[in-house]
Copies of this chain bind each other. A is one copy, B any other.
């Protein structure tokens, strides 16, 4: 095992929390490119340098501490949601710092990174997606946040620190530690989850178009009510999904808009979001087929027309088998019987990195499954167990 120092690790994790401390519990407000975010990234560069690593801030504001030669990259992101928790990506970043420090002490090549804007002030995992080649810098520069600020303007705030992009060929793989952000480990009293894959996501908007009418004078049997279309659609998919889904499959309608949106008008248009996630690409496609059939059948049955937006499709990303095996045997050694294999229901930077190298992820428990909220927390003991599992596995990965 790499000679990690749990006290130093916890002290640094708490120090990182002071950048943008919300003043509510352990909450943090540190969106990408905000003053606290830039200050935290400067502090990270200093820590990397103190560990003897070669430091770099890349053009999109991701910060790097690099070991010589070909190394294992360990990290996550230090930006937060507008109202975030103290662990989220920060845990993975400080794990990277501590592992790189410990590696440097014993000559095991470990590099560390904090990607920029994982939380999507501008896009989705913006920093790692540009670095991974999924989004060009030009495209990224045109992205805007909710106030209209462009990514170009935001990253200009760190231009004085910025150098070139880092060559992915320097790394033999990527290891990311993250809080689970869900309830499974906490409910089971387990200390760690070795991620099998990051689930795939399908996301689209569905619109039913009917006929806008007076809600007093249009009898029920003559209505073409777009809202009734949405109800019927939801009824059909709820029934048919039962034969397809697993307990880990999720689907969500998080947004609904009726037009014109008046109490006294039968809605002529209903637009709503449909998002579904699963670790199995084939299942995602079977769900898509059910959804598309249900849209068509509903429209036919109720005399509506239907449109769908372009569908966002992120395929599931399997973790590297050898890296997984290293994490699993480390987990069994450090927390025997208190860990599980599990998919990640959330997106992570590892998804972007997987295009270039083997990746693996370790989860620690989220108390009550809470994340993206000031209440987010994990017991110190579980944080340290996670660190030790990583320290054990990283040595194998870095030297393998």
| A interface, CB within 8 angstroms of B | 180-184, 199, 201, 203, 213-222, 225, 227, 231, 234-235, 245, 247-258, 260-267, 273, 275, 277, 344-347, 369, 371-372
Contacts and interface: CB of A to CB of B under 8 A. Distances in A.
Contacts of A254: 215, 227, 258, 260-267
Contacts of A347: 216
Contact of A221 (B180, B213, B234, B247): B247
A236 to B, nearest CB: 12
A264 B252 CA distance: 7
B258 A256 contact: yes
Given A227-B256, A231-B234, 12 more contacts: A180-B217, A216-B345, A220-B251, A225-B252, A231-B235, A254-B260, A254-B261, A255-B261, A255-B262, A256-B258, A263-B273, A263-B275
Nearest to A262: B254
Contacts of A266: 252, 254
Most B-side CB within 10 Å, residue of A234, A257, A263, A371: A263
Given A222-B369, A263-B203, A266-B252, A182 B247 contact: no
A372 B211 CA distance: 13
12 contacts: A181-B216, A182-B218, A183-B222, A201-B216, A203-B263, A213-B369, A214-B346, A214-B371, A215-B252, A215-B254, A219-B247, A254-B260
A227 B180 CA distance: 25
A239 to B, nearest CB: 12
7 nearest CB pairs, A to B: A182-B217, A216-B345, A215-B252, A217-B345, A263-B273, A216-B346, A181-B217
Contacts of A184: 219
Number of copies: 2
A180 to B, nearest CB: 7
Nearest to A274: B263
Contacts of A225: 252
A264 B275 contact: yes
A379 B98 CA distance: 84
Given A220-B250, A227-B253, A215 B275 contact: yes
Given A263-B273, A275-B263, A250 B219 contact: yes
Nearest to A251: B220
Contacts of A182: 214, 217-219
A13 to B, nearest CB: 21
Given A345-B214, A345-B217, A346-B217, A263 B258 contact: no
A264 B314 CA distance: 14
A222 B258 CA distance: 28
A181 B214 contact: yes
A256 B261 CA distance: 7
A234 B183 CA distance: 30
B261 A215 contact: no
A155 to B, nearest CB: 24
B199 A216 contact: yes
